[in-house]
Amino acid sequence: MQIVDAQIHTWGTGLPSNMSHIQVTHYTPAEAIAQMDEGGVNAAVIHPPGWDPNSTQMAFDAVRDYPGRFAIMGHLPLDPSSREKIAGWRSQPGMLGLRYTFLHDPARQELADGKYDWLFAEAEKHGVPVATLATDSLEVLGRIAERHPGLKLTIDHLGGRGGLTTLKDDEAMTHIPRLLALAKLPNVAVKATGAPGYSAEAYPFPKMLGYLHQIYDAFGPHRMFWGTDITKMPCSWAKCVAMFTEEMPWLNADDKRLIMGDALCAWWGWNRQ
């Protein structure tokens, strides 16, 4: 079974602007590889963070230096001038798609107003998957997915705010009914990333297991992707893996194979060979 982390950040300078990440000036691909090997993780998708202007080049270097171990979800400026770059976006080494955050205004309101419709139309046209962190815009994303049925749209961090909230357990998951409503749309998937970070409980984070069960029942193993956002986690990579492989008796062997890596690689078109 391949184990592929759907989201990590790597950087070489600067402190994370999101205070939930470890406050260090570097977390390099080499550091990640050492911890991945220790935790039994085969590969990871790097989401270059904005606090390091060189993080995207670092990600490209990681793809080159560690074949099959890393891929990238990148970003373009949310400006129509980026439109022409989407057609060739996936021709870049290791580049799988695009990832954006719509948690705050003006981006959140502009998403609702349709200002970024060009992005989703072009991504659909050229087969470029899009991932989004947009807790307050789940209904908006649902309408976008309906208008663009060929678009592969992924909802980040169980639909929640990731590390941009101090709420824990039930209080952090009030959006779950709105997330589950998106399961009817076959072109919407969920990154089950960072679940331990939402919990005030100890391993195996039993309340979070309940929410993950709901997501599995709604979306199924082909549209639910394991991952960590490891630099925010209160536990090791090994524990993040074991939470899914050992603590979820409702998952059979095929489910685990899909959720832990195969489904993600299929959804985002990552051929690791």
Domain CATH code at residue 172? 3.20.20.140
pLDDT digits (tens, 9 = 90+) for 51-95: 999 999 999 999 999 999 999 999 999 999 999 999 999 999 999
Distance CA 175, CA 171 (A): 9
- Domain that includes residue 203, residue range: 4-268
Amino acid letter, residue 165 = T
Residue 150 in any domain: the answer is: yes
How high is the mean pLDDT of the chain? 96
pLDDT digits (tens, 9 = 90+) for 26-40: 999 999 999 999 999
Higher pLDDT, 266 or 273: 266
Tally of domains in the chain: 1
**The pLDDT of residue 208 is above 80:** yes
Token code pair at residue 228: 């960590």
Residue 65 in any domain: the answer is: yes
Phi first, then psi: give them for residue 162, nearest 5 degrees: 60, -130
Helix axes 138-147, 117-126, angle to 10 degrees: 50
Residue 273 in any domain: the answer is: no
Residue 176 in any domain: the answer is: yes
**The pLDDT of residue 7 is above 90:** yes
What pLDDT is recorded for position 12?
96
pLDDT digits (tens, 9 = 90+) for 175-197: 999 999 999 999 999 999 999 99
Bond from prior residue into 177 cis (ω within 30 degrees of 0): no
Burial degree of 67 (CB within 10 A; 0-12, 13-18, 19+): exposed
Specify whether the CB–CB gap between 160 and 175 falls below 8 A: yes
* Residue 174 burial (CB count, 10 A): 11
Residue 121 in any domain: the answer is: yes
